Each structure stands twice: as C-alpha cells, then as structure tokens.
Amino acid sequence: MHRVLAFLALLVLVWLADIGLAAAANVAILMPGSRGIVPGDFLVRNEARFKGAGIRTIMTTSAANAAALVAGEAAQGRKAVIVGMSKGAVDAAEAIALGARPSGIVFVSGIHPRIIATLGTPEKLPATLVVHHRHDICRFTLPSGASQFIAWARGRARLHWIDTAGQPGSEPCNAQGAHGFFRQDGPAVAAIVNFIRSH
C-alpha cells in the first residue's frame, strides 16, 4: 500500500513538473511585414536569433492563423507572444481583435494608426511592447505614431526606442533603413527577447 501511494505521489510530482515546464515555455508567433516571409524582413532574418535565445518560433502572415496558434498553445498549457513587424503589427492587432489571448504582443515599427483602428479600445491589449526607431522616416510608421499609440494605450503598453545609426535606403519603408533598424538588429532583438522571456 505504501509503495502504491509513493508511486502515485511520484506521478503527481512528474505531472506538476511537466505543467510547470509547459507554462514557462517561450513561444513567439512571428508576423512579418507587407512583403511576407522574405529573407530581408526583420523577423525573418532574426528568427535564428530568437531560436538561439531558447524561444520556439512559428511564422505566419495570417491573423486568423495567429489567433488559432495562440489558442493551440494555450490548450497545451503554453504561453505565446505575438510579434508583428510593420504591416505584420496590424495583422497581430487583427489577431487580438479576432479573439486571440496571447500573454503578450510586440509591435515592431508598427503602423500605429491602423493598429488603433483595428483594436478600437486599449482594453483589448495584453501586455504590450512597442519597438520603434527614433528616426524611422517611413510615412506609415513615423515615430510620432508610436508615441500617440502609447498615449492611447493608457498604461497598457511600453515603448522601447532604438537609436542605431546607418545610411538611409532609397525606399524608407523597407527593411534596410531606420524602419528596419539599418540591419543593426541587436538592440531591437534583445528588447523583444527580454519581453518574451518575462511574459
């Protein structure tokens, strides 16, 4: 009888340990910009860095798919953070509007007026990080939009400015200039990784 009880106690401990590991799992659902899953996109070119930091990644350009992925991870007891880049940040907001409940969301070089319009209210936001370059000159993602979003979020989001320097490209909205951190991605990646690990 004592052996049976001891065995059952051991099974319970193993089960609880598995739940703890699952709850602590780092999963990032990456949503690249308007050109999709292409090598130059900030999230695509840094996927290996996220994996190297121990974060499991899933790449998608579909808001509905992102919402389903968050639900699937939650059903397995795992937390997921959605990370959207530029137009992908709008897609990430749409996933929230569709009912996704990630443990956090990151808007990178986001089109913030469209994010606000998509969400409608800051009450829908989970823990939120905004990563934006101070000198982004893309007309859709000007730094003023990031500041306006933070004010609109009423304490539900925090802003991490990036100040890397480099040569602007001929297309201000591509992933080469300030919009894409001049391909000096370290500070932006580090901020995102730290946020994912803490949520």
Query: How many Å apart are CA 51 and CA 184, to the nearest integer?
Result: 18
Residue 194, phi-psi category: left (phi > 0), alpha (psi -120 to 50), beta (remainder): alpha
Higher local confidence (pLDDT), 24 or 199: 199
CB atoms within 10 A of CB 95: 27
Residue with tokens 């292409």: 38
Assigned token pair, 196: 């994912």
What stretches of 24-142 show up as alpha helix (H) in DSSP? 42-45, 47-52, 63-75, 87-97, 112-119
Q: Is the pLDDT of residue 3 over 60?
A: no
Q: What distance lies between CA 56 and its chain's CA centroid? A: 12
Could you tell me the pLDDT band of residue 22, with boundaries at 50, 70 and 90? very low
Global pTM?
0.87
Buried b (16+ CB within 10 A) or exposed e, 134-166: ebbebebbbbebbeebbebbeeebebbebebee
Report the pLDDT value the prediction gives residue 81, as an integer from 0 to 100: 98
Q: What is the DSSP letter of 182?
A: G
Could you tell me the pLDDT band of residue 26, with boundaries at 50, 70 and 90? confident
Kindly compute the dihedral angle of the four CA atoms of residues 69, 71, 72, 77, in this order, to the nearest 10 degrees.
130
Name the burial class of residue 23, with classes exposed (0-12), middle (13-18) and buried (19+) by CB atoms within 10 angstroms of its CB.
Answer: exposed
Q: Are 80 and 70 contacting, i.e. CB atoms less than 8 angstroms apart?
A: yes
**What CATH number has the domain spanning 27-197?**
3.40.50.1820
Percentage above 70 pLDDT, the chain: 87
In tens, the pLDDT along 100-153 reads 999 999 999 999 999 999 999 999 999 999 999 999 999 999 999 999 999 999
Report the pLDDT value the prediction gives residue 108, as an integer from 0 to 100: 98
Which residues in the chain belong to E strands, given as ranges?
A: 26-31, 56-59, 79-85, 104-108, 127-133, 157-162
Could you tell me the pLDDT band of residue 7, with boundaries at 50, 70 and 90? very low
Percentage above 90 pLDDT, the chain: 82
